[in-house]
Amino acid sequence: MKLRNLTQLSEFLLLGFSEDPALQPLIFMLFLSMYLVTVSGNLLIVLAILSDPHLHTPMYFFLANLSLVDVCFTSTTVPKMLVNIQMQSQAISYADCITQMFFFLLFGSLDDFLLAVMAYDRFVAICHPLHYTVIMNSQLCVQLALVCWVIGVLNALMQSLLVLRLSFCTHLEIHHFFCEINQVVHRACSDTFLNDLMMYLAAVLLAGGPLAGILYSYSQIASSIRAISSAQGKYKAFSTCASHLSAISLFYGTIIGVYLSASAAPSSASTAAASVMYTVVTPMLNPFIYSLRNTDMKRALKRLIRKILGRTMQTIKGAGQL
Q: Domain of 212: which CATH number?
A: 1.20.1070.10
pLDDT computed for residue 176 by the predictor: 85
Distance CA 68, CA 87 (A): 29
Distance CA 289, CA 253 (A): 15
For residue 50, tell me if it sits in a domain: yes
- Round the average pLDDT of the chain to a whole number and report it: 86
For residue 108, tell me if it sits in a domain: yes
For residue 1, tell me if it sits in a domain: no
Given a cut of 80, whether residue 274 has pLDDT beyond it is no
Side chain identity at residue 224, one-letter code: S
Q: Domains in the chain: how many in total? A: 1
pLDDT computed for residue 298 by the predictor: 83
For residue 294, tell me if it sits in a domain: yes
pLDDT computed for residue 5 by the predictor: 44
In this predicted model, what pLDDT tens digit does every residue of 67-98 receive, in sequence order? 999 999 999 999 999 999 998 888 899 899 99
For residue 41, tell me if it sits in a domain: yes
Mean pLDDT of the region 109-114: 94
Distance CA 305, CA 248 (A): 28
Given a cut of 90, whether residue 110 has pLDDT beyond it is yes
Which pTM was predicted? Answer: 0.89
Distance CA 245, CA 119 (A): 9
User: Mutual orientation of helices 282-292 and 231-264 as an angle, nearest 10°?
Assistant: 170
Given a cut of 90, whether residue 146 has pLDDT beyond it is yes
C-alpha distances (whole Å) from 115 to each of 63, 169, 175, 214 are 9, 39, 29, 8
For residue 181, tell me if it sits in a domain: yes
Highest mean pLDDT among 15-29, 162-176, 204-218, 270-284: 204-218
For residue 92, tell me if it sits in a domain: yes
In this predicted model, what pLDDT tens digit does every residue of 226-270 receive, in sequence order? 888 888 878 887 888 888 888 898 888 877 777 666 655 555 566
Residue range(s) defining the domain that contains residue 87: 6-321
